[in-house]
Amino acid sequence: MTRIAITGAAGRMGRVLIQAVDAAEGAEVGAAIVRHDDPMLGLDAGAIAGLGKDLGIRAVASLSEVADQFDVLIDFTTPAVTLANLSFCQQHGKCIVIGTTGFSDDEKISLADCATQTGVVFAPNYSVGVNLCLNLLRMAARVMGEDSDIEIIEMHHRHKVDAPSGTALRMGEVVAETMGWDLNEVACYGREGQTGARPHQQIGFETIRGGDVVGDHTVMFASDGERVEVTHKAQSRMTFARGAVRSALWITDQKAGLYDMQDVLGF
């Protein structure tokens, strides 16, 4: 049985992650970590997730209190918290599955540098469908990229704090890599005013925020006379949670290093 700790356990993803671990074969909730000032501190993880039963796991405020109670940490929090937790996991020989988005380029470099002692899975999106879309995008970029204008549109709920989404950026990276472009040079984040004509070698990003949308992404290849759109719509956070739990079970059998969801799915 793989014991999984969940940090950010009281958050939108954290609560669904507790449900997903509880429902998964071969996994159990080993620990639940919340902020020191969270009203859920001290409550049972089952109550936090609304499971209608206790799991015998009381939410604590620091990983060091539960270091011997888990094998893998699933972390969907904030970049600074995740980097500190990654460092803890490396020091204590624990694997970690990272779902947090919004890392700066420097933070991504320190994350990769740190992922040397144990297994780390880091993906901006743990849904099977989005990871399939990444492969479809490689094909679309190869076939249509030279003759198309490429635009990425994403919509999320009003509470999301980073933009564009980590998934939209990953989609942009995949398209740019396939085209032989550097995303930093070709990305255009929103437009207004006298923008001039659109250059061909550009990937446009548009961000929409509102309501309770779990996550919609469309990548558009617009050429003269036709348009291809690759669209993914997440309807439930459970799709991300199941993918993260699948990753947590997978990573315990891997060599130390940095992996993503494409590795977990064997793409």
Residues binding ligand NAD (CB under 6 A): 7-8, 10-14, 33-35, 38, 76-78, 81, 99-102, 123-126, 240
Residue 97 forms beta bridges with which residues?
74, 121
How far, in Å, CA of 142 to CA of 85, rounded? 38
167 annotated as a binding-site residue: yes
Residue with tokens 């990229």: 145
124 annotated as a binding-site residue: yes
Residue 8 is encoded by which pair of tokens? 């950010």
How far, in Å, CA of 124 to CA of 169, rounded? 9
Contact of 108 with 84, CB cutoff 8 Å: no
Residue with tokens 């446009």: 204
158 annotated as a binding-site residue: no
Q: Which of 160, 200, 233, 255 is catalytic?
A: 160
164 annotated as a binding-site residue: no
CB of 80 to ligand NAD, least distance (A): 8
How far, in Å, CA of 126 to CA of 128, rounded? 6
CB of 65 to ligand NAD, least distance (A): 12
Give catalytic status of residue 160 as yes or no.
Answer: yes
The residue sitting closest to ligand NAD, measured at its beta carbon, is: 11
CB of 126 to ligand NAD, least distance (A): 4
Preceding amide of 39 cis, omega within 30: no
Q: Which of 94, 156, 217, 232 is catalytic?
A: 156
Residue 259 forms beta bridges with which residues?
121
59 annotated as a binding-site residue: no
What does 120-182 look like in DSSP terms, one character per residue? EEE-S---HHHHHHHHHHHHHHHHHGGGSEEEEEEEE-TT--SSS-HHHHHHHHHHHHHHT--
How far, in Å, CA of 210 to CA of 158, rounded? 4
Please state the residue numbers annotated as binding site: 8-13, 99-101, 123-126, 157, 166-167
Please state the residue numbers annotated as binding site for NAD(+): 8-13, 99-101, 123-126
Catalytic residues: 156, 160
Please state the residue numbers annotated as binding site for (S)-2,3,4,5-tetrahydrodipicolinate: 157, 166-167
